């Protein structure tokens, strides 16, 4: 292997870009030892130099990242601009097309265009690494793609969005409502001014689609991820969860069985004894089930300047060392196309909260509907009663199909004495 | 890169050897895709073919593993014989000397002879991988050496011995004593007939020495690990721990500060809110603190046929792909020699249980000794009293040096009214 310096061009000098520059600067000496060659920044690109709290005077400056991707003499472009399309995509395509390796933290880009970028990287004999796109500093892509290469992976699930986990944790700890906690999170910098991508589950879905592709060796398929956010999780459900021995988490779950892939992001009741239920606040966690390793759990910071930069620099070092691994575990030509299992065929237990007028016979009506749809109740909980007034009634069911559950809930919602749309939350890993 | 088959010779066909052969056989097709070339077993070695529950008829059979290491045409020897010296060491040295890569699960070998083997591998231009030697199936060496390559790692700690963790978990859950639970563990196959290496902390110390070397880029130094086992942990201490909000775990802790390395294995009180305290039974866990990533926690099975084989096969795949990483993170010539901090200079809080004759003034004597040695009490707990009889008294202290604590305990032990040798357990991460 060569001892020539490995030259890196960094596109985007925001939070993660700045962190990456700092880590490469501060640890240049030990990184050179670890990689067997110096890893140097040769060029950087951003809209402006204003407000940078690190020195970029030694690097070629490009006002246009695309220009840098095409024309700089770097061995690699590190794309930290963000966004699934627009300039980020152009920069990555140009870099790969010019025979430069690419490292990116851009989950939206990889989720939407991973298959095409994989092909482009392959055609140009370069690598596309994206550890930082999933679960921040946690080395989860590396663990799946390399450490667990001897496994047939059957399931990957995780807490993939720190904003949602922070909100759900705070709602539980402080008994407060979603809207209020979201506002605080925005003030604390844990949620963006426009939090849609986070709280609607889209960000977690990007990450889940990437995980599913790497874990199962299938072509990435973001559009078929079933996505529900946390905006409808209420303080009362969190309370009931506690009472039933669960915590509510926004989970991403991907599993492969019977020739189909199930990919879903939604709030889930997770039993308190499950390791993932203990992961609180802004932390992320990924749980991997493999046929040899059994279960591996990884926990760490899912976002932030330096944790994310840690993952970016890990990727850079791998490529500087000469490591080449297929982008999504197997070569692009070998990626399987596996049908998505329709959500109606999902099988699992459910938590259901109803608002019922407390009158004789009302529960019998509900029970009859469940029976008609082959849904079997596991437990029922009702606190307080006030005749003629609506009271919350909570049930958990045994395993049933989502189609059965949905049909039963439609019918229950239409009952006279049901005063609100029923709230349904899937129970996971129970 | 070549597409030629990568040929593997497996030395030792016991539990882990058998698991490795099975994983390589069962997943041959997908492993070839992942590695870009077939990974084939070309030779195997064991004392006898009796009792093997897998087919070895297609492989060259060697009754002598050393002969195989020297003379087979394999690209790599996988050493799964075990033991720090004897045949395992000879086989690894012969393989490296013959220009063959080596993968091993042998923690004792790496802990005792890692530095020399590293040099031998380096001189012969081959790799020595040992993921399976630490924490079974958890990809912890890979995470530290590669995924966190951008970090200055300051601390690594973990539950590194599943036998001890199983015993401590069972003692707590069932309120039973060490000797009894050990016997059960032996019957269940969770502890060996001769459990010394596990229960005395030696096995965990082997793993800790390896982790410290990889994490800090220092020459491996097993002999300076401070080692205490779990044989003196009593049911009563587990009960008091519970009451104080702690769980007792056999921890391995390695940290680098002020130009020294601290490496220690001992029972520790870990606060229940710490993720590692939730790791129960035979599971292992490693917690890594890096200056960029903050904290990463990994949890999984630390032993067993297939989990360990998962790590072995991950290592094999890395080498088959052409990945070459310095054995202990940096090249052998760059490994630092950092002095070990004497245990007397360890600083932390302590749990102390005394057996005191319940007489007026006795506690004042104890308090005076603590004061004289500059040890400051944080809490004191005494249940029940019977005048003139010995009662257990439990204290926790604020941070102090181990030297102060030890001197105070020596003096306390000599007091008239102290009826048993005091029990001291370090409090960790409090």
For B204-244, the pLDDT digits (tens) are 999 999 999 999 999 999 999 999 999 999 999 999 999 99
pLDDT of residue B3: 85
User: What is the model's pTM?
Assistant: 0.96
Average of pLDDT values for B77-104?
Answer: 97
For A25-43, the pLDDT digits (tens) are 999 999 999 999 999 999 9
Nearest CA in chain B to A293: B307
pLDDT of residue B430: 46
The position carrying tokens 């249980």 is: B353
Q: Check A292 against B323: CB less than 8 A apart.
A: no
Average of pLDDT values for A411-421?
Answer: 94
Nearest CA in chain A to B308: A293
pLDDT of residue A363: 86
pLDDT of residue A384: 76
Cβ proximity of B330 and A33 under 8 Å:
yes
Q: Check B27 against A150: CB less than 8 A apart.
A: yes
CA–CA gap between residue A342 and residue A261 (Å, rounded) = 9
For B326-366, the pLDDT digits (tens) are 999 999 999 999 999 999 999 999 999 999 998 888 888 99
Of A145, A150, A312, the CB nearest to B31: A150
pLDDT of residue A95: 98
Lowest mean pLDDT among A128-137, A183-192, B147-156, B356-365: B356-365
- Tell whether domain B345-428 is in CATH 3.20.20.80: no
Q: Would you say residue A2 has pLDDT above 80?
A: no
Q: Across chain A, what does the average pLDDT equal?
A: 95
Q: Would you say residue B1 has pLDDT above 60?
A: no
A296 in contact with B at a CB cutoff of 8 Å?
A: yes
Cβ proximity of A145 and A329 under 8 Å:
yes
pLDDT of residue A430: 46
CA–CA gap between residue B275 and residue A274 (Å, rounded) = 12
SS3 call for B142: helix
Question: In this prediction, what percent of chain B has a pLDDT beyond 70?
Answer: 99
B34 in contact with A at a CB cutoff of 8 Å?
A: yes
Lowest mean pLDDT among A201-210, A352-361, B87-96: A352-361
SS3 call for B381: strand
Average of pLDDT values for B33-45?
Answer: 98
Of A49, A207, A223, A389, which one is the catalytic site residue?
A: A207
Q: Check A31 against B299: CB less than 8 A apart.
A: no
Q: Check A137 against B19: CB less than 8 A apart.
A: no
- Tell whether domain B6-133 is in CATH 1.20.58.220: no
Sorting pLDDT into bands at 50, 70 and 90, what band is B2? low
Of A146, A275, A321, the CB nearest to B314: A146
Residues of chain A numbered 53-112 and touching chain B (CB < 8 Å): none
Of B137, B152, B279, the CB nearest to A294: B137
SS3 call for A217: coil
Superfamily of domain B140-301: Dihydrodipicolinate Reductase; domain 2 (3.30.360.10)
DSSP H or E stretch at residue A29: helix A28-35
Average of pLDDT values for A308-334?
Answer: 97
Query: Minimal Cα–Cα distance from A40 to chain B, Å?
Result: 13
pLDDT of residue B255: 96
Question: What stretch(es) of chain B map to CATH 3.30.70.260?
Answer: 345-428
pLDDT of residue B382: 86
Instruction: Characterize the bridge pairing of strands B101-104 and B76-79.
Output: parallel
Question: What stretch(es) of chain A map to CATH 3.30.70.260?
Answer: 344-428
The position carrying tokens 């920044």 is: A41
ipTM of the complex: 0.95
Average of pLDDT values for A354-364?
Answer: 87
CATH label, A141-301, candidates 3.20.20.140, 3.40.50.300, 3.30.360.10, 3.40.50.620? 3.30.360.10
Q: Would you say residue A222 has pLDDT above 80?
A: yes
Question: What stretch(es) of chain A map to CATH 3.40.50.720?
Answer: 6-133
Q: Would you say residue A56 has pLDDT above 80?
A: yes
Q: Check A323 against B326: CB less than 8 A apart.
A: no
Average of pLDDT values for B174-181?
Answer: 95
B301 in contact with A at a CB cutoff of 8 Å?
A: yes
Report the residue of B141, B292, B301 to disrupt the A interface, i.e. the one with the largest count of A CBs within 10 Å. B292
Q: Would you say residue A1 has pLDDT above 80?
A: no
pLDDT of residue B429: 80
CATH label, A344-428, candidates 3.30.70.260, 3.20.20.10, 3.40.30.10, 3.40.50.300? 3.30.70.260
**If you count residue pairs, one on A and one on B, with CB atoms under 8 Å apart, how many are there?**
207
Query: Minimal Cα–Cα distance from A154 to chain B, Å?
Result: 14
Cβ proximity of B206 and B108 under 8 Å:
yes
Average of pLDDT values for A273-300?
Answer: 96
């Amino acid at each position: 292997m060569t001892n020539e310096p490995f030259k890196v061009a960094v596109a985007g000098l925001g939070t993660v870009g700045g962190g990456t520059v700092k880590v490469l600067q501060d640890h240049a000496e030990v990184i050179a030892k670890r990689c067997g060659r110096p890893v140097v920044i040769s060029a950087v690109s951003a809209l402006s130099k204003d407000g940078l709290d690190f020195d970029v005077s030694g690097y070629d400056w490009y006002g246009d990242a695309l220009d840098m991707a095409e024309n700089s003499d770097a061995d690699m472009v590190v794309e930290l601009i963000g966004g699934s399309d627009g300039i980020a995509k152009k920069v990555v395509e140009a870099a790969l097309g010019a025979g430069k390796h690419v490292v990116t933290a851009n989950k939206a880009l990889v989720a939407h265009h991973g298959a095409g970028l994989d092909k482009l990287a392959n055609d140009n004999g370069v690598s596309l690494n994206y550890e930082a796109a999933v679960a921040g500093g946690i080395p989860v892509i590396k663990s799946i793609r390399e450490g667990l290469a001897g496994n047939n992976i059957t399931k990957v699930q995780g807490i993939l969005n720190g904003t949602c986990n922070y909100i759900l944790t705070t709602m539980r700890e402080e008994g407060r409502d979603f809207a209020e906690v979201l506002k605080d999170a925005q003030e604390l910098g844990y949620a963006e001014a426009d939090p849609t991508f986070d709280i609607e589950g889209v960000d977690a879905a990007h990450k889940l689609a990437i995980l599913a592709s790497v874990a199962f060796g299938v072509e990435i398929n973001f559009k078929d991820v079933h996505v529900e956010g946390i905006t409808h999780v209420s303080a009362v459900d969190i309370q009931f969860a506690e009472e039933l021995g669960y915590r509510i988490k926004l989970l991403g779950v991907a599993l492969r069985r019977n020739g189909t892939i199930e990919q879903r992001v939604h709030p889930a009741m997770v039993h308190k004894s499950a390791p993932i239920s203990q992961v609180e606040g802004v932390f992320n966690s990924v749980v991997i089930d493999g046929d040899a390793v059994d279960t591996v759990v990884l926990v760490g910071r899912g976002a932030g300047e330096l944790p994310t930069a840690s993952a970016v620099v890990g990727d850079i070092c791998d490529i500087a060392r000469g490591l080449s691994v297929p982008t999504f575990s197997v070569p692009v030509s070998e990626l399987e196309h596996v049908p998505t299992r329709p959500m109606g065929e999902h099988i699992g237990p459910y938590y259901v909260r109803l608002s019922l007028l407390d009158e004789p016979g009302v529960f019998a009506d509900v029970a009859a509907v469940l029976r008609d749809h082959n849904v079997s109740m596991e437990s029922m909980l009702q606190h307080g009663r006030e005749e003629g007034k609506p009271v919350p009634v909570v049930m958990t069911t045994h395993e049933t199909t989502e189609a059965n559950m949905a049909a039963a809930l439609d019918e229950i919602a239409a009952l006279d004495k049901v005063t609100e749309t029923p709230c349904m939350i899937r129970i996971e890993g129970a």
